[in-house]
Structure 1
């Protein structure tokens, strides 16, 4: 009789333990998922290559960015007088080369002869202005690309040329957002999205009026990223953008103390001249 009572008590305790197990498993899984979300690493986007360490928008800067394990290289694309897609930030060559004049007034042969490295440091003498095709061919498979169309209104047809450059290399349907095209010119991004809606599009802005709930909602019609000046970023903005299923990669970090607040806000990527300012992910985070 006593043994029977103990046996029933044991079965009852066993049943209760099973109930508790099934109750706690979802909770553990949920907590694990929350921790995974919190531990997701931020993408390191090397601004104009590793522009803090090598002359911006040159092969040397992009090589340095890859050597520093950047997730993306960011580059600026304009168009020469003869329609070549050239990688340079300013609409004139004066600041970053030994030449003068507007990019769109010079043929690519003339642009190619310019020294785009000496202004930064003597050891970079002879660096030239690369084409978009050169950069894609050289670094494809080594890193991802954030391609900015710079002042596209100056270069009618640049959206189609960039789309064709990607298509020619079978990069027009990228996986894992390995190619993103962005611009401050929203109409240009609408046009690019119409040409190829498989390549993610980003909109750049420093204006508060572009970050209202209404403006963000409008971006969802064609954009996948909203990439504002870092000065505009806080957790509320990041949450609003994420709630609309878009990503956010602010720019441009040039001081180490600016990194952690952006990471705390939950951004997806940080655009920086100094890729090593962004902490590396641990193996545990990557898992």
Structure 2
């Protein structure tokens, strides 16, 4: 069984449009939909630039249960939110995140690439996000490429402890990563915070692999391509919850509801909760 079977709520899901997806939607009641956590992937990133205040504020307005954020570290040791390990795609700058200081990162425009109305959006800091959103919405923290940033687990833990956010039930915090050794470290540092493992590798869905994950993780968060009812049942039988990424169509959300997942990570929170 999972070491924290009764802790936590929230995390991630996804899928591409399939011609059969709509057929699943008819059997899902509104009550069943409400039981599934709606996780705004990098904020409401279908409508605003990812990992920015604009996207996170919109996710709050759309009544998502969680925002999902990507945490890395600047050259001078500050935790910042950005998905790629370079700034090239989502800003007007170039270079690796870990080779730029916070001052350099904060001078970049992180919104114009998405739309002119978002010009001037900044790369947020982790501290800024914790202070702005705690108590307003859950936060799913992804440690992005933690192998590039030795000690980042302790730094994240310290930021949460400083704000008394290391008690997950009250603050709705989950921490996940593709790097399993990294989240094992987080589990030791923050034993009361739910842990998630991310994967798109079918090798991680064997009974043996899932049993290993269940010794330290509370969430198993696969990509949509490997989600099946059998997998969901196996994960639940081991006391873990399951999320998947990344929903970009209403049909994808309907499919994952039918699969019985516990949370859906989506660029479009209104695809998970049509009321918004």
Q: Please give the TM-score of this superposition, normalised by the length of structure 2.
A: 0.87
Query: Which aligned pairs between 1:78-227 and structure 2 lie closer than 5 A?
Result: 78-175=72-169, 178-227=172-221
- State the SS of the aligned residue for 2:69: strand
- State the SS of the aligned residue for 2:241: coil
CA deviation profile, 1:8-58 (whole Å, cap 9, x unmatched):
xxxxxxxxxxxxxxxxxxxxxxxxxxx999676211000000000000000
1:247 to 221, 235, 241: 241
CA distance in 2, matches of 1:257, 1:176: 33
Alignment pair present for 1:263 and 2:270? no
Stretches of 4+ aligned residues off by more than 6 angstroms: none
Deviation at 1:252, TM superposition (A): 0.4
CA contact (8 A) 1:177 1:200 kept: no
CA contact (8 A) 1:253 1:274 kept: yes
CA contact (8 A) 2:143 2:175 kept: yes
Change (3 A) 1:259 1:38: closer
5+ residue gaps in structure 1? 1-34, 282-287
Q: Which of the two has greater helix per residue? A: 1
Q: What residue is the counterpart of 1:23 in the other structure?
A: none
CA distance in 2, matches of 1:213, 1:264: 22
- The total of aligned residue pairs comes to 247
Q: Please give the TM-score of this superposition, normalised by the length of structure 1.
A: 0.83
Q: Which has the higher contact order (CA 8 A, sep 6+)?
A: 2
CA distance in 2, matches of 1:257, 1:239: 22
CA distance in 2, matches of 1:68, 1:148: 21
Decide which structure has the larger Cα Rg and report it.
1
CA contact (8 A) 2:165 2:171 kept: no
Aligned Cα RMSD in Å? Answer: 1.6
Deviation at 1:279, TM superposition (A): 3.1
Q: What residue is the counterpart of 2:58 in the other structure?
A: 64
CA distance in 1, matches of 2:219, 2:196: 4
Change (3 A) 1:265 1:107: same
CA distance in 1, matches of 2:174, 2:273: 23
Q: What residue is the counterpart of 2:38 in the other structure?
A: 44
